């Protein structure tokens, strides 16, 4: 009986270690000694021009980006040099290639960019915004979206 109880206890401890609570949350510690953590999101849509989703700056706080999503439709002409960028992050600009195909807007474009940063990436300084920048896809594109999420602490 003692062996069975010990085995059950070990199984329970193993399951607790694998629970989603171990995963990174939007606010890793909502009540840290540094202040209250505030989850933030930003989103933008467009067609042929550039778009931006800005995780705003806050006085006395550091903004963190935990992930972003970008997708867009094809333009009339191919544009192999389009790049999605994340600016304002510590360490400089993050670049993600997103070429458009010459199949016009009726054909799905390149696979969407869906990035999660673990751990989340801090802004380059306190009171600095982090911006997700979607490229200009060109004439004939019908939809582009960019969304970003993170927190301020």
* Paired strand residues for 114: 69
Average pLDDT over residues 109-134: 93
Burial group, residue 81, by CB count within 10 angstroms (0-12, 13-18, 19+): exposed
Please check whether residue 82 lies inside any domain of the structure.
Answer: yes
> What pTM does this model have?
0.76
**Does residue 10 sit within a domain?**
no
Range of the domain at 39: 25-152
Question: For position 26, what pLDDT does the model report?
Answer: 61
In a domain, 104, yes or no: yes
* Tally of structural domains, the chain: 1
Query: Does residue 4 carry a pLDDT above 60?
Result: no
Q: Is residue 46 part of a domain?
A: yes
Residue 132 — pLDDT band, cuts 50, 70, 90? Answer: very high
* DSSP one-letter code for 99: P
Q: Tell me, yes or no, whether 80 lies in a domain.
A: yes
> Which residues contact residue 110 at a Cβ distance below 8 angstroms, ignoring those fewer than 6 apart?
98, 99, 100, 101
Residue-level pLDDT at 119? 92
Across the beta sheet with 63-72, the strand order is 38-46, 144-152, 63-72, 113-122
- Where is average pLDDT lowest: 19-23, 30-34, 62-66, 123-127? 19-23
Mean pLDDT, residues 98-115: 73
Q: How far apart are CA 50 and CA 104, in angstroms?
A: 18
Whether residue 23 is predicted with pLDDT greater than 50 in this model: the reply is no
CATH code, domain with 115: 2.60.120
Tokens of 56: 């705003």
pLDDT value for 31:
64
Q: Is residue 64 part of a domain?
A: yes
**For position 63, what pLDDT does the model report?**
97
Out of 24-38, 75-89, 112-126, least confident range: 24-38
Residues of the chain with pLDDT > 70, as a percent, come to 74
Q: Is residue 19 part of a domain?
A: no
Q: How far is CA 101 from CA 46, 131, 143, in A?
A: 18, 25, 14
Task: With H, G, I as helix, E, B as strand and everything else as coil, classify residue 109.
Answer: coil
Asked, for residue 4, whether it belongs to a domain, the answer is no
Q: Which of 116, 88, 86, 113 is nearest to 99 (CA)?
A: 113
């Amino acid at each position: 009986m003692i062996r069975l109880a010990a085995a059950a206890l070990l199984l329970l401890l193993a399951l607790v270690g694998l629970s989603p609570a171990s995963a990174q949350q939007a606010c890793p510690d909502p009540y840290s000694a540094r202040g209250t953590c505030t989850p933030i999101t930003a989103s933008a849509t467009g067609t042929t021009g550039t778009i931006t989703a800005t995780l705003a700056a806050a006085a006395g706080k550091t903004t963190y980006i935990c992930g972003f999503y970008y997708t867009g439709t094809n333009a009339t002409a191919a544009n192999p040099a389009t790049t999605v960028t994340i600016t304002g992050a510590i360490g400089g600009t993050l670049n993600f290639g997103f070429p458009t195909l010459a199949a016009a807007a009726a054909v799905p474009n390149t696979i969407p960019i869906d990035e999660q940063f673990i751990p989340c990436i801090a802004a380059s300084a306190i009171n600095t915004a982090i911006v997700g920048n979607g490229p200009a896809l060109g004439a004939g594109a019908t939809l582009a979206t960019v969304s970003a999420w993170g927190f301020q602490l």
